[in-house]
Chains A and B, each alone.
Chain A
Amino acid sequence: MKAAPFEYVRPSSLLEACSILADDEDALPIAGGQTLVPMLAMRLARPTILVDILRLPELTGIGRANGFLILGATTRQVEAERSALVASDLPLLAKALPWVGHQPTRNRGTVGGSVANADPSAEIPLVAATLGARIVIQSREEEKVLPADDFFLGAMSTALEPGFCVKELRFPVWPKGRLGVGFHEISARKSDFAYASAAVQLAADDDDKCLNIVLGLGGLSDRPVRISLDSIIGKDLRATSLPAIVAEAVGDACDGFDLRSDIHASASYRRRLAISLAQRAMRDAIDGALQGGGEAQ
C-alpha cells in the first residue's frame, strides 16, 4: 500500500503554505498525518503536493486570551492531553482526549488535523461543537473565525476552501466555579471509531441548580451536533426527572438524523446508545459539579 507519487514541500511560513495550497487545488496540507497518511496509502487521496505545516511557528502553542483557551492547530493531541492549562480550563477536552485513537497516534496527531478531517465520530470536533469553539482558518488573503457550527458542514467536510489552513482553535473557557464534565463513547474496541458519543459540560450554582449546560452528540449525524438542554437551566441537578428530559431531547434529535446502519452497528442501536451515553455523561457531569467541580476530574 504505497501512496501515489507526490511532491513534498516544507514552507517556512503559514503565508507561504497557504499560497501553495491556493495555487494548486490538488495540494494538501499535512501535519500529524494520522488520518491523511492511511488515505494516501490506500490511494483514496492523491495530492500533487504535500505541504508540511507541522513545524510552522504560527500554528504552535497553547495559551489563554479573552476568556478562550487557544490551541495552535499543530498542537499534538498528546501535548493537549498532558497540558495543565487544558486540564484546568477545558476539563471536557481533557476528558475526551484519552479516547482519541491510541497513544502512538496521539503522539503525532494534531488537534487541528482532527478538526480539519471532520470525521463525524471524532472526539475533538465533538468537544468543539459542544462548547461552541471558534475555528480560525487562514488563507493568503484573509483570516476567518468560524463558529464550530459553521465550520463542520458534513461528513469529512468543512468550510476549509482551497488555500485555507486551520490556524488555531479557540475554546470558550467557562467561569471558575462548580463545573462538571462527562464524556462517553462506545465502539467495538476501545478507541475505534465511535458508534455514538456524548459530551456534557455543566455548571452548578451554590444551591445545586443548573447555571449552564451543554450537550453534544457525535457519531450519529454527519457531523457533531449540539443538543439544547436549556430546559434544565434553573432546575435542581438532583432532580430525578433529568434523565428523562435528556432521553427525550436526544431521542427527538436522533429522529432528525439520518442514522446509519452498517455491519458494525444498526441505526436503532445508535439511537439507543445516544440516549444512554448522554444520560451517563450528564450523570458524571452532575456528580463532578456537585462534589466540588472546577478543575477536570
Chain B
Amino acid sequence: MNVELQVNGTDHVVDVEPRKTLLDALREDCALTGTHAGCEHGVCGACTVLVDDAPIRSCLLFAVQADGYQITTIEGVAPGPGELSILQDAFCETHGMQCGFCTPGMVLTGHALLKRNPNPSRAEIVDAISGNICRCTGYGQIIEAIELAAERLRGRNLSDSISAEPTMVHADIVAPEDEPERGIIKAAGYDLPHEGKP
C-alpha cells in the first residue's frame, strides 16, 4: 500500500505492507535510522517520535495509519548540519546519555514537554520521561539536561513570533586553552578539531 508520510517537513511516499510499523517505515523506507527499536511492544520508548508535537510510540502505529500527521523524528530537531538545538546542547552539557540508544526518544519527549510547559518542576520532568526507559544513566543527568534547557529557553532572545522549534544556541567561540574546564565549546568546533590549526 502507498502512504504519504510527512516527516520533518518532507513528504515521503512509501509503499509498505499494512503490517509495517511507522518505526520500521521511518528506518527502512525513509532512511531515518535515529529512531530505535528497543522492545517493539510499546514499553521502552526508544521508538518515540512526535506526531503533531505529541510524543507517541512509533512501534505502536502502522505506517498506513500515519498519513496526515506532522511527524518529527530526532533528525528533525537540530537546526542545521553540525548544529544542536538548545535542548540537545543541554544534553551534551550535562552528559544526559551514555550509549545513546534511548536518547532520541528522550530528546523528543523533552522538546514536547518544554513546548507545553516552559517551566517544569523536577517532578513534572520525571513524569514526562517516565515512559522512556534508560538503562545507562539512572535518569539523573537527563533530568538535569531538561532543567538546564528550560532555563536557557526561558532566557533566550525571542524573535517576534515564538516558533515551535527552539532555536540553536550560538555558543561563544572560546579558545580552548583559556578555559579548558568550560563546558560549552563552539558547536562546530568538533567537525574541525583544530579550527585549521595544529
Contact = CB atoms under 8 A, between A and B. Distances in A.
| Contact between chain A and chain B defined by CB under 8 Å | yes
B41 A42 contact: yes
B86 interface: no
Contacts of B1: 8
Contacts of A107: 51, 54-56
Interface stretch (A98-106, A216-224, A284-292): A98-106
A18 to B, nearest CB: 19
A38 B48 CA distance: 15
Contacts, number: 76
Interface string B1-32: 10000000000000001110100100000000
Most A CB atoms within 10 A — which of B1, B40, B60?
B60
A105 B42 contact: yes
B17 A5 contact: yes
A33 B18 contact: no
Contacts of A30: 65
Contacts of A102: 45, 130-131
Nearest to A109: B60
Contacts of B42: 34, 37-38, 105
> What is the predominant secondary structure among interface residues of chain B facing chain A?
mixed
Interface residues of A, number: 29
A238 interface: no
Contacts of A190: 130
Most B CB atoms within 10 A — which of A41, A102, A105?
A102
Nearest to A52: B65
A104 B59 contact: no
Nearest to A103: B131
Nearest to B105: A104
Contacts of B45: 102, 104
Nearest to B37: A1
Contacts of B71: none
A50 B48 CA distance: 23
A280 interface: no
A8 B40 contact: no
B139 interface: no
Nearest to A78: B54
A3 interface: yes
Contacts of B64: 8
A37 B19 contact: no
A6 B19 CA distance: 6
A107 B59 CA distance: 14
Interface in A72-111: 78, 101-105, 107-108
Contact of B61 (A8, A101, A108): A108
Contacts of B131: 101-105
Contacts of B40: 1, 41
B187 interface: no
Nearest to A54: B65
Given A38-B41, A38-B42, A102-B131, A50 B18 contact: yes
A154 B41 CA distance: 24
A50 B131 CA distance: 27
A60 to B, nearest CB: 15
Contacts of B24: 2
A83 to B, nearest CB: 15
A5 B64 CA distance: 13
A156 interface: no
Name the 9 nearest CB pairs between A and B, nearest first.
A102-B131, A8-B18, A38-B41, A1-B40, A107-B54, A3-B19, A37-B60, A104-B55, A104-B131
